[in-house]
Copies of this chain bind each other. A is one copy, B any other.
């Protein structure tokens, strides 16, 4: 197994610029081949998937992508249909929009389409997702939760996401919605995992060799639970504060680099 085959993973924290410099979306387009890019947009997280899908297709086309198309998915049987799967052929990038990550997961997780997205990413195709589309990249996905800086036992609800990463738990609208508490809670509930909280109009580029870079206007907060020493999350009931020790927190701005041990996550991404 070559640990270095996995494609770029690019969670975006939502509300990225679509009318001005488009820094984040332009970056993704470049990783997908620029004017040679063939992008598939999956807008199924959204309750307004037709409009949202059209909007992203127009933005990528206007920036010069060679081909852009939308997959509209209304039920799980469609996600298992050969017709839909065939439309991923030739894609040089996949983009998942915002909305509700649990809706996206309910339609895609453990279907042929969900597996195809995971395998294409593992084979080298870049995948970006914004807001709900970012959360859904995780195997252990934050489905929803409460705002707040402090962790508490009940402030986060977990579910299975698409599993593009086995070991990162991705959160979004991070500073804007005050989500440090829920991401810390998610890490305390999943010892050994690493939380990635991405601000609005900001992306975290996770490359195949473990090199990561922050792009855009805001920050990315890393909540690293790999050296978790202690948590009393089992005894701190309901919304009482939870104690944690040994969690390493980093706040990174645009241009900052971060090295993930490829053995930690990318190996699993490819091997799975």
What chain B residues lie within 8 Å of A189 (beta carbons)? 102, 143, 158-160
Q: Which residues of B contact A159 (CB under 8 A)?
A: 158, 189-190
Query: Is A228 at the interface (CB under 8 A from chain B)?
Result: yes
Beta-carbon contacts under 8 Å, A120-174 to B: 140, 143, 153-154, 157-160
The residues of B that contact A110 with a CB separation of less than 8 Å are: 191-193, 225-226, 228
Query: CB distance B106 to A231 under 8 Å?
Result: yes
For residue A160, which residues in chain B have a CB less than 8 angstroms away from its CB? 140, 189-193
In the complex, chain B residues whose CB is within 8 Å of the CB of A106: 188, 191, 231-234
User: A206 on the interface (CB 8 Å rule)?
Assistant: no
A77 interface residue (CB < 8 Å to B):
yes
Given contacts A76-B191, A76-B229, 10 further A-B contacts (CB under 8 A): A75-B229, A76-B230, A100-B235, A103-B234, A106-B188, A106-B233, A109-B191, A111-B191, A158-B159, A160-B193
- Going nearest first, the 3 A-B pairs with the smallest beta carbon separation are A110-B192, A102-B234, A159-B189
List the interface of chain A (C-beta within 8 A of B).
75-77, 100, 102-103, 105-106, 109-111, 140, 143, 153-154, 157-160, 188-193, 225-226, 228-235, 271
